[in-house]
Structure 1
């Protein structure tokens, strides 16, 4: 009888230990638990849909920035577009990490907003004189329209990620948001330093 009691005690202890280990493992990754619970929620579906939208947008912006760099007049603006193109490629990779963190496969969905903004930028190139400061001034405005769309998108997505408990994803989205804001300020500085004034002197 004593042996049976000892066996029961051992089994109970082992089961308790296993349950404790499972609980500890679960607590180390709260994002996964949140993802599982919210997987079918309307907010989660909207969040994923918006990620697909900006994922498409970032990829399209990489190509657009090359065209803007080629069309720019001043070396300063060419360099700014080149730097942001490299940064945008990092943003694409960062978004892929966000998808994985929330248990989703990276996919693109056509972003009609960015398509329209990019088309507007292409029209600017066609309608301004090559080698002019007016073209550079106009390109900066076109680029900032892209930045403002991204700032609004990443700002909203970061807050949604926080709300849903996706802390690691939120950190990545906020990092991109900060970089987009810095680029917007840089473009303003470039315009105000000389390009706008030089453009005003052109016939």
Structure 2
């Protein structure tokens, strides 16, 4: 494997590792800010998944012979800052949950791009074990994105349109008839 290619893989892996470790810090706050139980559960579950993803990245870094720490992911810094702004600028409820889903899906799409690239590079370099680990994470990121879409479509968006809390029968039964 050409040294420049291996170095590039290492840099991209470090960037992705930074993104995931930043997400480990952000997900508990996002879960706390979510008012929809299904969304809160999704954030909490993804926190556990992200911890395993960080461990996989550490294994791939070892295979590459590089330190997983090094590059700082500025893109994830921006995405996390956006999520923090959402919490600060919106009152608790389904509209904020819809905004949180938007922020979370931006994160997922960034991660899907990162893992897709790393997986393709590992395959090109003949590093099948690394490619398999990265492909496992790529699938998890896609699954999380799909789950967030389902939560938005089934719970959050309809509640936000009604102006009522998702999954709250007491709030659904009160108020004016629509």
Structure 1-normalised TM-score? 0.78
Residue aligning to 1:12: none
Residue aligning to 1:26: none
More relative contact order, 1 or 2 (CA 8 Å, 6+ apart): 2
Q: CA RMSD in A?
A: 1.2
Equivalent-residue separation in structure 1 for 2:16 and 2:150 (angstroms): 26
Q: SS at 1:83's partner residue?
A: helix
Equivalent-residue separation in structure 2 for 1:143 and 1:46 (angstroms): 27
Matched ranges for 1:167-178 at <5 A: 167-178=128-139
Structure 2, unmatched stretches of 5+, are 165-178
Q: Is the 8 A contact 2:111 2:141 kept in 1?
A: yes
- How many aligned residue pairs are there? 164
- The higher radius of gyration belongs to 1
Q: Is the 8 A contact 1:102 1:166 kept in 2?
A: no
The alignment status of 1:98 with 2:98, answered yes or no, reads: no
Matched ranges for 1:65-104 at <5 A: 65-104=27-66
Equivalent-residue separation in structure 1 for 2:68 and 2:74 (angstroms): 19
The alignment status of 1:138 with 2:124, answered yes or no, reads: no
Of the three residues 70, 75, 81, the one matched with 1:108 is 70
Give CA deviations for 1:62-110 in whole Å, capped at 9, x if unaligned.
1111110010001111111000001000000010000111222322311
Equivalent-residue separation in structure 2 for 1:180 and 1:75 (angstroms): 20
Q: SS at 2:28's partner residue?
A: helix
Q: Is the 8 A contact 1:155 1:174 kept in 2?
A: yes
Structure 2-normalised TM-score? 0.89
Residue aligning to 2:176: none
Q: Is the 8 A contact 1:69 1:81 kept in 2?
A: yes
Q: Is the 8 A contact 2:97 2:156 kept in 1?
A: yes
